[in-house]
Protein backbone atom coordinates (compact mmCIF):
# COMPACT_ATOMS: atom_id res chain seq x y z
CA UNK A 1 0.00 0.00 0.00
CA UNK A 2 1.32 3.43 -0.96
CA UNK A 3 1.93 5.76 1.95
CA UNK A 4 1.36 9.55 1.65
CA UNK A 5 5.09 9.90 2.31
CA UNK A 6 5.85 7.96 -0.90
CA UNK A 7 3.97 10.42 -3.14
CA UNK A 8 6.16 13.24 -4.55
CA UNK A 9 5.34 16.58 -2.94
CA UNK A 10 4.44 18.29 -6.24
CA UNK A 11 1.95 15.56 -7.20
CA UNK A 12 0.45 15.48 -3.71
CA UNK A 13 0.02 19.25 -3.73
CA UNK A 14 -1.70 19.18 -7.12
CA UNK A 15 -4.12 16.44 -6.01
CA UNK A 16 -5.02 18.01 -2.68
CA UNK A 17 -5.51 21.46 -4.20
CA UNK A 18 -8.38 20.08 -6.30
CA UNK A 19 -10.37 18.88 -3.30
CA UNK A 20 -13.37 20.76 -1.84
CA UNK A 21 -13.02 22.53 1.50
CA UNK A 22 -14.94 19.93 3.52
CA UNK A 23 -12.64 17.15 2.29
CA UNK A 24 -9.57 19.21 3.13
CA UNK A 25 -10.78 19.64 6.70
CA UNK A 26 -11.02 15.86 7.06
CA UNK A 27 -7.65 15.22 5.39
CA UNK A 28 -5.85 17.48 7.84
CA UNK A 29 -6.18 14.59 10.30
CA UNK A 30 -4.33 12.09 8.06
CA UNK A 31 -0.87 13.05 9.29
CA UNK A 32 1.12 16.02 10.60
CA UNK A 33 2.66 16.83 7.22
CA UNK A 34 -0.78 17.02 5.55
CA UNK A 35 -2.09 19.19 8.38
CA UNK A 36 0.86 21.57 8.00
CA UNK A 37 0.45 21.68 4.21
CA UNK A 38 -3.31 22.29 4.18
CA UNK A 39 -3.07 24.89 6.96
CA UNK A 40 -0.25 26.86 5.34
CA UNK A 41 -1.10 30.36 4.01
CA UNK A 42 0.47 29.58 0.62
CA UNK A 43 -1.74 26.52 0.11
CA UNK A 44 -4.87 28.36 1.26
CA UNK A 45 -4.20 31.17 -1.22
CA UNK A 46 -3.54 28.70 -4.06
CA UNK A 47 -6.71 26.73 -3.25
CA UNK A 48 -8.83 29.89 -3.16
CA UNK A 49 -7.48 31.01 -6.54
CA UNK A 50 -8.06 27.59 -8.12
CA UNK A 51 -11.59 27.36 -6.71
CA UNK A 52 -12.50 30.84 -7.95
CA UNK A 53 -11.24 30.06 -11.48
CA UNK A 54 -13.04 26.72 -11.58
CA UNK A 55 -16.35 27.86 -10.18
CA UNK A 56 -16.95 31.16 -11.92
CA UNK A 57 -20.26 31.38 -10.05
CA UNK A 58 -21.45 33.87 -7.50
CA UNK A 59 -24.26 33.44 -5.02
CA UNK A 60 -26.60 35.92 -3.39
CA UNK A 61 -26.40 36.14 0.38
CA UNK A 62 -29.47 37.84 1.83
CA UNK A 63 -31.06 38.43 5.19
CA UNK A 64 -33.69 35.85 6.02
CA UNK A 65 -37.12 36.16 7.58
CA UNK A 66 -35.49 34.32 10.45
CA UNK A 67 -33.26 36.84 12.29
CA UNK A 68 -30.90 34.01 13.29
CA UNK A 69 -30.12 33.03 9.68
CA UNK A 70 -28.90 34.29 6.34
CA UNK A 71 -30.22 32.79 3.11
CA UNK A 72 -28.15 31.79 0.07
CA UNK A 73 -29.81 32.12 -3.36
CA UNK A 74 -28.81 31.02 -6.86
CA UNK A 75 -28.39 34.21 -8.95
CA UNK A 76 -29.78 32.60 -12.12
CA UNK A 77 -33.02 31.20 -10.70
CA UNK A 78 -33.26 33.08 -7.38
CA UNK A 79 -34.00 29.73 -5.78
CA UNK A 80 -32.95 29.39 -2.16
CA UNK A 81 -30.00 27.00 -1.84
CA UNK A 82 -29.61 26.88 1.91
CA UNK A 83 -29.78 28.82 5.15
CA UNK A 84 -26.76 29.64 7.29
CA UNK A 85 -27.08 29.99 11.05
CA UNK A 86 -25.63 33.17 12.52
CA UNK A 87 -23.71 33.01 15.80
CA UNK A 88 -25.77 33.40 18.93
CA UNK A 89 -24.93 36.15 21.37
CA UNK A 90 -26.40 36.85 24.78
CA UNK A 91 -27.09 40.47 23.83
CA UNK A 92 -29.85 39.28 21.49
CA UNK A 93 -28.74 41.84 18.87
CA UNK A 94 -29.05 41.20 15.15
CA UNK A 95 -25.89 40.66 13.10
CA UNK A 96 -24.86 42.59 10.01
CA UNK A 97 -22.25 41.94 7.32
CA UNK A 98 -19.50 44.58 7.31
CA UNK A 99 -17.22 43.10 4.67
CA UNK A 100 -16.14 40.01 2.74
CA UNK A 101 -12.91 38.74 1.23
CA UNK A 102 -11.79 35.37 -0.16
CA UNK A 103 -14.78 33.48 1.18
CA UNK A 104 -14.68 35.02 4.66
CA UNK A 105 -17.42 37.29 5.98
CA UNK A 106 -16.87 39.88 8.68
CA UNK A 107 -19.99 40.33 10.81
CA UNK A 108 -20.90 42.27 13.92
CA UNK A 109 -23.94 43.01 16.03
CA UNK A 110 -25.49 46.46 16.33
CA UNK A 111 -23.00 47.53 19.01
CA UNK A 112 -20.08 46.99 16.57
CA UNK A 113 -18.21 45.50 19.54
CA UNK A 114 -19.08 41.79 19.20
CA UNK A 115 -17.29 40.92 15.97
CA UNK A 116 -16.78 37.63 14.14
CA UNK A 117 -15.04 36.22 11.09
CA UNK A 118 -17.30 33.66 9.47
CA UNK A 119 -16.49 31.00 6.88
CA UNK A 120 -19.91 29.95 5.48
CA UNK A 121 -18.48 27.08 3.41
CA UNK A 122 -17.51 25.16 6.55
CA UNK A 123 -19.96 26.97 8.85
CA UNK A 124 -17.33 28.00 11.36
CA UNK A 125 -16.99 31.26 13.27
CA UNK A 126 -14.12 32.95 14.99
CA UNK A 127 -15.01 35.54 17.58
CA UNK A 128 -12.47 38.36 17.59
CA UNK A 129 -10.92 39.50 20.87
CA UNK A 130 -12.08 42.75 22.39
CA UNK A 131 -10.51 45.85 20.88
CA UNK A 132 -8.17 48.26 22.65
CA UNK A 133 -9.59 51.72 22.01
CA UNK A 134 -12.64 51.40 24.26
CA UNK A 135 -10.38 50.59 27.20
CA UNK A 136 -7.87 53.33 26.37
CA UNK A 137 -10.49 56.04 25.97
CA UNK A 138 -13.10 54.69 28.39
CA UNK A 139 -13.49 58.08 30.10
CA UNK A 140 -13.93 59.97 26.83
CA UNK A 141 -17.19 58.45 25.61
CA UNK A 142 -15.60 56.60 22.69
CA UNK A 143 -17.99 54.98 20.22
CA UNK A 144 -17.33 52.82 17.15
CA UNK A 145 -18.43 54.65 14.02
CA UNK A 146 -16.99 52.47 11.23
CA UNK A 147 -15.79 48.92 10.57
CA UNK A 148 -13.94 47.53 7.57
CA UNK A 149 -12.45 44.20 6.48
CA UNK A 150 -9.98 43.24 3.78
CA UNK A 151 -6.81 41.44 2.78
CA UNK A 152 -3.35 42.87 3.38
CA UNK A 153 -1.78 41.52 0.20
CA UNK A 154 1.78 42.31 1.23
CA UNK A 155 1.52 40.36 4.46
CA UNK A 156 -1.06 37.84 3.17
CA UNK A 157 -3.10 38.60 6.27
CA UNK A 158 -6.82 39.30 6.71
CA UNK A 159 -7.34 42.46 8.74
CA UNK A 160 -10.19 44.34 10.40
CA UNK A 161 -10.20 48.11 10.88
CA UNK A 162 -12.26 49.81 13.57
CA UNK A 163 -12.62 53.59 13.74
CA UNK A 164 -13.79 55.11 17.00
CA UNK A 165 -14.77 58.66 17.80
CA UNK A 166 -14.43 60.24 21.20
CA UNK A 167 -14.68 63.69 22.75
CA UNK A 168 -11.49 65.14 21.25
CA UNK A 169 -11.11 63.32 17.95
CA UNK A 170 -10.88 59.88 16.35
CA UNK A 171 -8.83 56.73 16.92
CA UNK A 172 -8.12 53.70 14.75
CA UNK A 173 -7.22 50.12 15.60
CA UNK A 174 -6.37 47.20 13.32
CA UNK A 175 -6.91 43.50 13.98
CA UNK A 176 -4.57 40.93 12.38
CA UNK A 177 -5.96 37.43 11.84
CA UNK A 178 -2.42 36.04 11.58
CA UNK A 179 -1.46 37.48 14.97
CA UNK A 180 -4.96 37.26 16.47
CA UNK A 181 -4.54 40.65 18.13
CA UNK A 182 -5.42 44.34 17.84
CA UNK A 183 -3.09 47.33 17.71
CA UNK A 184 -3.81 51.05 17.76
CA UNK A 185 -2.30 52.99 14.86
CA UNK A 186 -1.46 56.67 14.56
CA UNK A 187 -3.45 57.29 11.41
CA UNK A 188 -7.01 58.45 11.13
CA UNK A 189 -9.25 59.56 8.27
CA UNK A 190 -11.20 62.80 8.52
CA UNK A 191 -14.39 62.08 10.43
CA UNK A 192 -17.67 63.95 10.22
CA UNK A 193 -20.94 63.30 11.96
CA UNK A 194 -22.06 61.51 8.79
CA UNK A 195 -19.28 58.92 8.79
CA UNK A 196 -20.68 55.42 8.63
CA UNK A 197 -19.51 51.94 7.71
CA UNK A 198 -17.42 51.48 4.61
CA UNK A 199 -16.09 48.16 3.37
CA UNK A 200 -12.47 47.34 2.67
CA UNK A 201 -10.63 45.16 0.21
CA UNK A 202 -6.93 44.60 -0.40
CA UNK A 203 -6.00 47.25 2.13
CA UNK A 204 -8.19 49.97 0.62
CA UNK A 205 -11.25 51.50 2.29
- Which pLDDT tens digit goes with each residue over 8-66? 777 777 777 777 777 777 777 777 777 777 777 667 667 666 665 655 566 677 777 77
Is residue 17, in this structure, part of any structural domain at all?
yes
Is residue 188, in this structure, part of any structural domain at all?
no
Q: 14 or 130, which is more confident? A: 130
- The tally of domains found in the chain comes to 1
pLDDT band at 194 (very low <50, low <70, confident <90, very high): very low
Alpha carbon of 40 to those of 28, 33, 43, 122, 124: distances in Å? 11, 11, 5, 17, 18
Is residue 45, in this structure, part of any structural domain at all?
yes
Q: What is the pLDDT of residues 134-178, one digit of tens each?
A: 777 665 666 777 899 988 888 878 899 998 887 777 889 999 998
CB 173, CB 133: distance < 8 Å: yes
What's the pLDDT score for residue 182?
95
Q: Are strands 104-109 and 143-152 parallel, antiparallel or unpaired?
A: unpaired
Is residue 190, in this structure, part of any structural domain at all?
no
Whole-number Å distance between alpha carbons of 38 and 47: 9
Q: Give Cα 185 distance to the centre of its chain.
A: 21
Is residue 37, in this structure, part of any structural domain at all?
yes
Coil vs helix vs strand at 155: coil
pLDDT band at 6 (very low <50, low <70, confident <90, very high): low
Whole-number Å distance between alpha carbons of 118 and 128: 11
Residue 46 domain boundaries: 4-55
Q: 142 or 77, which is more confident? A: 77
Instruction: For residues 107-121, give the mean pLDDT.
Output: 83
pLDDT band at 112 (very low <50, low <70, confident <90, very high): confident
**In CATH, what number is assigned to the domain containing residue 28?**
1.20.1280
Instruction: List the beta strands (DSSP E) in the chain.
Output: 60-63, 69-73, 80-85, 95-101, 104-109, 115-119, 124-127, 143-152, 157-166, 169-176, 181-185
Amino acid sequence: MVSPKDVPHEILLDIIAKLPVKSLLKFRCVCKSWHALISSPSFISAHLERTAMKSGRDYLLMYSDNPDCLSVFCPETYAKCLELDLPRHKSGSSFYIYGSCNGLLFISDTTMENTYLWNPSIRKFKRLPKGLIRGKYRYSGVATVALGFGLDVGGNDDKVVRIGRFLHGVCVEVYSLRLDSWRIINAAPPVTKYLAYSGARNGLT
